[in-house]
Structure formats: C-alpha cells, structure tokens
Amino acid sequence: MMKLCDMARPKQTVKETAPTTENIEPYYEKYPYGLRINLNQDDLAKLGIDISSYKVDEDMSLQCEATVIGIRQNQTSDGNEDCSMELQITKMGMKGMGNFGDSFDEAVNEK
C-alpha cells in the first residue's frame, strides 16, 4: 500500500492574503475543490455502492488509477512560479472504512 498524504491546506492568516480595507477573515477551504470527486447514479452502480448505507462525514477507502492529461508550469512577471498536473481517473474502487479487524483480515488474505 502506498503512503497516504494529508492534502489539507494550512489556514492563511490575514497578513498572508491580499491587503483589504477591513480586517476580514479570508475564505478558507481545508481541502481544495479540485480534490473532490462527484459520482453520479451510474458511477455508483458500477462501484456497487448503495448510498443509503452511508452518512455525511463518513470516511471511505478509495483506490484508483489515473492518466496524466495535462502539465502546466508558469512564471509571472513578479517572479512567482506555479505548476499543476491534471489527472483523469480511469479505474476506481471504493468502500467504507468499516471494522478495522475485517479490513486487516481482507488485506492479509487478498490474493
């Protein structure tokens, strides 16, 4: 199993954001929108997922394969550099985290 990285972004302070006339807390999204996956009814059916057995905020296990479909690098006139990679998920499997003992047994006995 590959190492999992927490993709949460640190919350910026007011000083790290663009200056404003008011001391307003900047908008903060812990996990960026680009990391979200939206599955429609057909997708859920392919994965064998019955959403009635899940709740909001329940953790899921997700494994997928993806193809790189875009790579971008740029530099602005003020010297800032940025890069990004766009992935197309091509194969995916998922399930609820469930009972740790059951998950461990499944992983150990997987062929």
pLDDT of residue 42: 92
Distance (Å, whole) CA 84 – CA 80: 14
pLDDT of residue 5: 84
pLDDT of residue 11: 83
Q: What is the pLDDT of residues 27-83, one digit of tens each?
A: 778 888 888 899 999 999 999 888 998 899 999 888 999 999 999 999 989 988 988
**What mean pLDDT comes out for the span 76-102?**
82
* Cα distances (angstroms) measured from residue 71 to each of 14, 79, 86, 109: 31, 20, 6, 38
pTM of the model: 0.62
* Paired residues of 71 in beta bridges: 85
